[in-house]
């Protein structure tokens, strides 16, 4: 499915992050990977997002089954784990040779002949982004990818990359707990680049009350709406996304069909102006601590 034409009017309402999808769920009513993908497609969630770094592209490929034509399939390259196994032991490789080898590996593992959207997973301190994007553009011309994306990059990176080849989407964190991306939104809109907002639940930190002002504000609104704290946090991202000039696709991640449906329902929650003000004021208090 095409990505290059995403606008504020045509962008998907929401995507599905598959970082934690594993083989463990097969046969489980709530966590079977194929059932999860089918449930997402049936509910209108068509953007499926994974990455080479996640180590689960083969699982995603098997989960796709007959749904390939119904989804916008996205993956990322460039971040590689170190030998220690620690979460802080990773490095970035974004040179042209890595670009060419990484896409072939992802296509093989996913069992597809092309990706709809292919991201550089993280900016490189060693390879100029112009070289990386030029190599990605070769993949586009070869029909291996439909559109180019960037993740975890700076405003300067975005401008320089877009000058080499149109960038369709930039994936950055956006949540009540992390709002720095908002300074980039005018530029993304000007360039016609969609924002794919990952971790809209603050890496899970917003799904439970932590005894702080933001947790309490989320809990209070959730109780009144008959929702969960996570749904209110996600509803805030949807609320803000509807009020910016460019295209925004929130990307909550889950391996549970139950949580998938809860996330979809969150997009329909209408927050009042006073709700939004209370949440943002509580987030600022938390940040001031």
- Cα 3–Cα 32–Cα 51 angle in degrees, nearest 5: 40
Copy the structure tokens of residue 117.
Answer: 């959207």
- Cα 257–Cα 268–Cα 192 angle in degrees, nearest 5: 95
Residue 91, beta-bridge partner list: 80
Q: How do 90-92 and 117-120 pair as beta strands?
A: unpaired
How far is it, in rounded angstroms, from Cα 5 to Cα 259? 29
| 153 CB burial (10 A radius; 0-12, 13-18, 19+) | buried
Q: Cα-flanking dihedrals φ and ψ of residue 170, to 5°? A: -120, 130
Copy the structure tokens of residue 66.
Answer: 């007959």
- In whole angstroms, what separates CA 134 from the centre of its chain? 23
Give catalytic status of residue 54 as yes or no.
Answer: yes
How far is it, in rounded angstroms, from Cα 163 to Cα 246? 19
How far is it, in rounded angstroms, from Cα 232 to Cα 70? 29
Q: Of residues 54, 118, 119, 198, which has the active-site annotation?
A: 54
How far is it, in rounded angstroms, from Cα 266 to Cα 221? 13
Listed in sequence order, the DSSP H helices in the chain are: 33-42, 57-64, 96-110, 129-141, 155-164, 185-191, 213-225, 229-241, 257-266, 273-288
The set of catalytic residues is 54
């Amino acid at each position: 499915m095409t990505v290059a034409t995403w606008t504020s009017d045509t962008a998907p309402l929401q995507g599905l992050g598959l970082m934690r999808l594993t083989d463990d769920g097969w046969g489980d009513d709530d966590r079977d990977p194929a059932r999860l993908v089918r449930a997402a497609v049936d509910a209108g969630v068509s953007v499926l997002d994974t990455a080479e770094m996640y180590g689960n592209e083969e699982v995603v490929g098997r989960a796709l089954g007959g749904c390939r034509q119904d989804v916008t399939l996205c993956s990322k390259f460039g971040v590689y784990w170190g030998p220690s196994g620690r979460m802080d032991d990773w490095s970035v490789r974004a040179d042209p040779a890595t670009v060419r080898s990484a896409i072939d590996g992802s296509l093989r593992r996913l069992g597809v002949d092309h990706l709809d959207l292919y991201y550089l997973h993280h900016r490189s301190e060693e390879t100029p982004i112009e070289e990386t994007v030029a190599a990605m553009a070769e993949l586009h011309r070869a029909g291996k990818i439909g559109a180019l994306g960037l993740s975890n990059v700076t405003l300067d990176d975005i401008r320089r990359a877009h000058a080499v080849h149109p960038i369709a989407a930039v994936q950055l964190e956006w949540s009540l707990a992390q709002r720095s991306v908002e300074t980039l939104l005018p530029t993304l809109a000007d360039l016609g680049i969609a924002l794919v907002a990952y971790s809209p639940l603050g890496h899970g930190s917003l799904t439970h009350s932590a005894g702080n002002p933001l947790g309490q504000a989320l809990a209070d609104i959730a109780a009144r709406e008959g929702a969960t704290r996570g749904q209110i946090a996600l509803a805030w991202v949807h609320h803000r996304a509807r009020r910016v000039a460019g295209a925004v696709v929130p990307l909550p991640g889950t391996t549970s069909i139950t949580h998938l449906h809860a996330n979809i329902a969150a997009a329909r929650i209408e927050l009042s102006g006073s709700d939004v003000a209370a949440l943002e004021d509580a987030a600022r208090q938390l940040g001031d601590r």
